[in-house]
Structure 1
């Protein structure tokens, strides 16, 4: 079962990186963190995948005062998602015309939800950004919703000012990914430290997200 969890972890991370590329190519808006990554990449001339990796490790430094210890799944997340973004970006065409943009957006959101459920179901720990969110909530006593909102509004605003793409896709991802992941989780939840799988809700709360 450990081998299956590892395979599922890496498959989820690869698909997560690919789905980010699809959403970028749609050109209708991406997640708050990816707006920041895209904007920072445009400012520095560094590929968005390399920016994702670099920001992941900078965010992990913020785990230190929050007294959070990363697992090896967290480190794999930090390295591989950005790597697969850079590998897949040259393989995808730009979405030409509103119809193809919508197709790319819908497909990218669904693939992102599948990737998130796949990664979460392997239960190897949260990604750097979601660990920051949950760690901040524990240290401050604020709700996870409030911490997430504060962090994502901040990074989205900074990314937009740097030239990142803010749009309807950003809103769609905010409202649709959570429900889609919850729906998909039972298909990907694997036994973890017990003889039976954790519930979808327990895994989702434990891991909080994919990146």
Structure 2
């Protein structure tokens, strides 16, 4: 929704709006002291262009059942792959860095923090002229709980600095 509103306001593609927002959101990392990583750079460089490319090759859904299927499949896939790359410890994407920074500062559950981020983003998108529909509400309310569900299943456990350096195991949470 934020991306849609930004794209409409600036007259640019969804992908370019995604990349632009990503760069601006990184500024919010400064007070959160969130460190960037390879995942951060790749997210900023690739996600927007991949969104534009996917939109050109993915067939448009015909009928309400196909649209609902796309929404549900897309939501679950987005949450799973979001948790997968966060769990790999390669660095957060821009919005995920806001989430992980707030998780560290507030010590609130992933579901609560991510839902708050998604609601703020949806509201900002609406203010910029984006469309609010059932899908927007579903994503805003379900993305946090889904990421919170998947993250412990796929996260790599990085040994703490105080652990025995003779051990070299990285086990999943």
TM tier relative to shorter chain: 0.7 to 0.9
Over aligned residues, Cα RMSD in angstroms? 2.9
Decide whether the 8 Å contact of 2:119 with 2:141 is kept in 1.
no
Q: Cα offset for 1:143?
A: 5.0
Q: Cα offset for 1:72?
A: 2.2
CA pair 180-66 structure 1, distance change in 2 beyond 3 A: closer
Identify unmatched segments of 5+ residues in structure 2: 160-167
Q: Cα offset for 1:38?
A: 0.8
Decide whether the 8 Å contact of 2:114 with 2:143 is kept in 1.
no
CA pair 100-43 structure 1, distance change in 2 beyond 3 A: same
Say whether residues 1:197 and 2:163 are aligned partners.
no
**Separation in structure 2 between the aligned mates of residue 191 and residue 137 of structure 1, nearest angstrom:** 17
Decide whether the 8 Å contact of 2:113 with 2:144 is kept in 1.
no
Radius of gyration: which is bigger? 2
Deviates more, 1:112-121 or 1:72-81: 112-121
CA pair 147-174 structure 1, distance change in 2 beyond 3 A: closer
Q: Which has the higher contact order (CA 8 A, sep 6+)?
A: 1
Decide whether the 8 Å contact of 1:114 with 1:181 is kept in 2.
yes
Report what 1:54 is aligned to. 20
Say whether residues 1:96 and 2:62 are aligned partners.
yes
Decide whether the 8 Å contact of 1:133 with 1:148 is kept in 2.
no
Q: TM-score scaled by structure 1?
A: 0.64
Say whether residues 1:162 and 2:128 are aligned partners.
yes
Q: TM-score scaled by structure 2?
A: 0.75
Q: Cα offset for 1:182?
A: 4.7
Identify unmatched segments of 5+ residues in structure 1: 1-34, 200-211
Q: Cα offset for 1:186?
A: 6.0
State the number of aligned residues: 163
Deviations 1:101-153 (A, max 9, x none): 111112212221332232123221222123224435656x585746862x544
Q: Cα offset for 1:187?
A: 5.8
Decide whether the 8 Å contact of 1:59 with 1:128 is kept in 2.
yes
